[in-house]
Amino acid sequence: MSSSDTQQHRARAQDRLSEALAQGSLADVRRILLKMEPADVAHLLASTPPRHRQVLWQMIEGELESEVLNELNPELRLEFLSGMEPSDLAQLAATLDDDDVADILQQLPDRVTFEVLDAMDQQDRSRLEQVMFYADDTAGGLMNTDTITIRADLTLDVVLRYLRRHEEIPEMTDNLIVVSRDDRYVGLLPLRTLLVSDPSHSVREMMETRQAPIPVEMPDDEVARQFERNDWVSAPVVDENGRLVGRITIDDVVDVIREDADHSLMSMAGMSEEEDTFAPILKTARRRTVWLAINLVTAITAASVINAFQGTIEKVVALAVLMPIVASMGGIAGTQTLTVLVRAIALGHIHQKNQLWLVQREAMVGLINGVIWAAVVAVAASLVFDDWMLGGVLAAAMVINLITAGVSGALLPLALERLRIDPALAGGVILTTVTDVVGFLAFLGLATAVYGT
């Protein structure tokens, strides 16, 4: 087996669906859809262009609808939900996880949110309001309230009998949460421990107290780092008084990890991690146009630097030929440094004491690679244009620009981070402006000094 059966199976289902859609045989489409897993339907919707997507969505009903919504990426989910009635939304909400419903409601207009909350039963509403109280990029926004709690003074035997009275234990339950009489977090009793221990022991004897609970205000990326570092499946969440308010499970954390990692990638091209691959033409054009406008400012800034040296270029046209090399090598070197820093910041690798070392290293790396490639390019240019002066100017400009690229590629994200501006989003544009301007200025400036105007 070179690839997976499941994958092939899914691809086949998709092919049959596409054919059925193309032929307009909606009965076939419905039949195939109903046999698919919700996660696969969500994946299918995400990879279908707009027109067919709407057709597909309209054929998904009842329980499958809420299960599919639960699996969809946030942008698509919001698109589908915006078209629904508040009463249908309230019904749907009852079948989704608290944290997902909270996310959805926070994205909808306030008016709709209130209508949906009104249409819910008392219990659902109060549980939900608890989660919605917290920002969705904090532990509170990630958590669910489906905890199973026990007291420390019980024996394991009693715990086992208590569990048996449950219809079911929530998914991703690897620990029972031990709390005090006033609901303060005390420790965890892993199911793994419960199952192998002598039932006459007490919870207090067997519970683990090493795992610190997660404060409800902790940012979601820090929650993700804690999960990754400690290999948790679930973790208890406490409020500022140490009272248990819910628990976070690894499936939601995996989404945070995926989104954070995608965030760096997409932001560096001026897009959002929630960007829908198959967004319609006009929506796509509108979103991208802002980024182009911002980069146009960069390009015009660079052009106006060149503009100042028209006289020199008229005299030595070879400058026009070579100047993009200086700018582009600077841009490439700077982007490398910037990317390393953006990732390091996302991973929490950067702190006060190690920043200076990084900036210094990047300056040295810029110097070394600048000298190497400046030498190569300068010799080649000197031979082609039969002008060793030109080669010298080119080499000097490249070294200057590569050192600038290294230093600014390292300093920029650190400065932006401190100003609470997303370095992945803003870093690239500012960096390119710097390397373009310094590159053209150094090259054409030195040339003017050497050749005169």
Q: Which stretch binds a copy of itself (CB under 8 A): 102-110, 122-130, 158-166, 412-420?
A: 158-166
Binding string to a copy of itself for residues 430 to 449, with x set by CB under 8 A, is what? --x---x-------------
What amino acid is encoded at 377 in this protein? V
Nearer to a copy of itself among residue 94 and residue 376 (C-beta): 376
Nearer to a copy of itself among residue 254 and residue 389 (C-beta): 254
Phi and psi at residue 99, to the nearest 5°: -65, -35
Q: Which stretch binds a copy of itself (CB under 8 A): 55-63, 128-136, 177-185, 268-276?
A: 268-276
Residues 212-231 that bind a copy of itself (CB under 8 A): 212, 214-215, 217-219, 222, 226-231
Residues 242-261 that bind a copy of itself (CB under 8 A): 250-251, 253-255, 257-258, 261
Maximum CA pair distance of the chain? 95
Nearer to a copy of itself among residue 88 and residue 228 (C-beta): 228
β-pair partners for 55 = none
Residue pair 391/376 in contact by the 8 Å Cβ criterion = no
Residues 54-73 that bind a copy of itself (CB under 8 A): 71
CA distance 307 to 320: 11
Among positions 154, 158, 321, 421, the unique one binding a copy of itself when judged by CB under 8 A: 321
Q: Does 34 bind a copy of itself (CB under 8 A)?
A: no
Among positions 118, 135, 348, 389, the unique one binding a copy of itself when judged by CB under 8 A: 348
Nearer to a copy of itself among residue 111 and residue 353 (C-beta): 353
Q: Does 156 bind a copy of itself (CB under 8 A)?
A: no
Residue pair 402/367 in contact by the 8 Å Cβ criterion = yes
Residues 362-391 that bind a copy of itself (CB under 8 A): 364-365, 368-369, 372-373, 376-377, 380
Q: 182, exposed or middle or buried, with CB in 10 Å at 0-12, 13-18, 19+?
A: exposed
Q: Does 135 bind a copy of itself (CB under 8 A)?
A: no
Nearer to a copy of itself among residue 82 and residue 360 (C-beta): 360
Token pair 């053209």 is found at: 440
The DSSP line for 101-158 is HHHHHHHS-HHHHHHHHHTS-HHHHHHHHHHHTS-TTBHHHH-BS---EE-TTSBHHH
Q: Does 103 bind a copy of itself (CB under 8 A)?
A: no
Among positions 157, 324, 388, 389, the unique one binding a copy of itself when judged by CB under 8 A: 324
Question: Which of helix, strand or coil describes residue 179?
Answer: strand
Query: Which candidate, 88, 116, 121, 85, places its Cα nearest to that of 102?
Result: 116
Tokens of 415: 């400065």
Among positions 111, 181, 353, 418, the unique one binding a copy of itself when judged by CB under 8 A: 353
Question: Which of helix, strand or coil describes residue 95?
Answer: coil
Q: Return the half-sphere exposure (C-beta side, CA atoms, 13 A cut-off) of residue 338.
A: 32
Tell me the number of residues near a copy of itself by CB under 8 A.
141
CA distance 164 to 157: 11
Q: Does 110 bind a copy of itself (CB under 8 A)?
A: no
Q: Does 310 bind a copy of itself (CB under 8 A)?
A: yes
Nearer to a copy of itself among residue 322 and residue 393 (C-beta): 322
Tokens of 76: 């698509």
DSSP secondary structure code for residue 208 in this structure: B
Q: Return the half-sphere exposure (C-beta side, CA atoms, 13 A cut-off) of residue 154.
A: 20
113, containing H or E segment: helix 110-118
Among positions 118, 171, 205, 208, the unique one binding a copy of itself when judged by CB under 8 A: 171
Q: Does 295 bind a copy of itself (CB under 8 A)?
A: yes
Nearer to a copy of itself among residue 48 and residue 145 (C-beta): 48
What amino acid is encoded at 153 in this protein? D
Q: Does 340 bind a copy of itself (CB under 8 A)?
A: yes
Q: Does 27 bind a copy of itself (CB under 8 A)?
A: no
